[in-house]
Amino acid sequence: MAKRSTTSARDPTGCRPPRGVALAALLLPACLPSASPADATPPGGSRAWGIVQGTDAPGDAAAVALVARRARCGGEAPVLLCSGALIAPDVVLTAAHCLAAFGEAGPYEVFLGPTLLPVPGPGGRFVRVTRARAHPGYVPATHAWDAALLRLAVPVTDVAPFRLPGGGDAPVAPGDTVRAVGYGDTKDANRSSGQRRQGHLQVTAVTGNAFQAGPAPAMSCVGDSGGPVLGGPAGNERLWGLTVSGDVACHAEAVQIRVDALADFLGPFLEETPAPAPAAPLPLDALCQEDCVDDADCPAGLLCVAAGEDPARCLLPSLQAGTFGAACTEDAACGAQGVCARLEVEGDDACRCFTPCEPTVDPSTPGDPNPGGRGGCASSPGALGATLAALLGLLLRQPQRRIPGRRFSS
């Protein structure tokens, strides 16, 4: 099957979305050129990609979804970026291109559970990501070494991580049957993305750092990028690969990075001791008065962001500078200028009343410091594209958050 060419002089990453497409819509397809199992640049490209012709995967608890960090306690659905694989209690392996929009310093969470969308289902939970690192050899144009590691804020102790291939395991070979797991598109109008699903593929070609597979009968699709591809006998499977690309129709071809080729990348990250939490981050009620130097100064994983010449402040993604007060369940509990913001991903006091440092004036009503009764919030329920665009602008404006080679092209 012919692949859609994504090569463009205007966009060296190969992702060239149509004009007017919202940022949220761009994130969902993870649009990037297709990788070839060979190390050479392929003649064409395709979208990175969900499990088509698959089934639900209730037993694969170590398969996770990568989402943009949520800012509001109501009115915002999670934004699925990619899938991923838990390989240690506090480490997730995913694809490097999944970090393309926000970079390594961006705000992420992972979701564990069978149902993320349309709303998180029973038994699911979120864990904040504290650090992301892309493979140093990653080449966006070819998907070479398209892998990234995520450090979680707290270890997941009740889920067994996927087993990594060892020296005594036979390498993946043409003809092998493998099993892909992910939260992506199903190409079925009755089965939405955001459901953890599985399906079998057959390996068709293998190189030193990747392998290619065809349907048997399932196929990966949009949203499965970074998800686990398992091989071996039932009950003793190993994590043989992670999904990185495929044909645009999600019908004929899947390309995976070989996990056994990532040993030099995985080993140091798995062995390092996570940095301890700072002893005394800035108080939540002093964030309008106190400057920050870096993210370690900020409570609850907030980002230290400087916009223009103003001092750097601790911010929750998509919200301007402000302070956090009492626990809440809805915006109405937070007064005319406040919103109920998600300070932490989980817990009884995760949702706290956020009040901006300076009220926002509605230009249509001179002198009105309270537009629509909700001043100071850069996002609102139903304005997800604007939320993510505002976040991206903040990250790219602040010098210490700029990530070389990590730019979102439109």
Ranges under pLDDT 70 in the chain? 1-50, 53-54, 189, 277-278, 359-410
Is residue 56 in some structural domain?
yes
- Whether residues 91 and 169 fall in one domain: yes
Residues 88 and 160 in one domain: yes
Do 133 and 199 belong together in one domain?
Answer: yes
| CB half-sphere exposure, 30, CA atoms < 13 A | 34
Residue 387 is assigned to a structural domain of this protein? no
Please check whether residues 369 and 223 belong to one and the same domain: no
Answer yes or no: do 152 and 244 share one domain: yes
User: Could you list the residue range(s) of the whole structural domain that residue 23 is in?
Assistant: 17-275
Backbone angles phi, psi at 156, to 5 degrees: -95, 105
Quick one: 133 and 233 in the same domain?
A: yes
Residue 216 covered by a domain: yes
What is the structure's pLDDT at 296?
Answer: 87
Give the distance between the most distant pair of CA atoms in the chain: 73
> How is residue 187 written in tokens?
């190409």
Query: Exposure of 344 by Cβ count < 10 A (0-12 exposed, 13-18 middle, 19+ buried)?
Result: middle
**What is the pLDDT, as a whole number, of residue 67?**
95
392 lies in some domain: no
If asked whether residues 206 and 162 sit together in one domain, one would say yes
Number of separate helices (H) and strands (E) present in the chain: 3, 18
Indicate whether 133 and 53 sit together in one domain: yes
**Contact status, residue 394 vs residue 103, Cβ threshold 8 Å:** no
Separation between Cα atoms, residue 35 and residue 256, nearest integer Å: 8
CA end-to-end distance (rounded Å), the chain = 27
The pLDDT, as a whole number, for residue 278 is 66
Q: What per-residue confidence (pLDDT) applies to 359? A: 63
Structure token digits, residue 75: 């009115």
Q: Are residues 264 and 176 in the same domain?
A: yes
CA distances from 20 to 47, 180, 378, 407, 410 (A): 19, 33, 20, 18, 9
Same domain, 225 and 108: yes
Instruction: List the CATH number of the domain containing 39.
Output: 2.40.10.10
Q: pTM for the complete prediction?
A: 0.77
Residue 100 amino acid letter: A
Q: Tokens representing 344?
A: 């932490």
Sequence-ordered list of residues with C-beta below 8 angstroms from that of 39, at least 6 positions apart, any chain: 142, 144, 207, 208, 209
- For residue 122, what pLDDT is reported? 87
The Cα 35–Cα 205 span in angstroms is 13
Residue with tokens 């030099």: 264
In a domain, 366, yes or no: yes
Domain count across the chain: 2
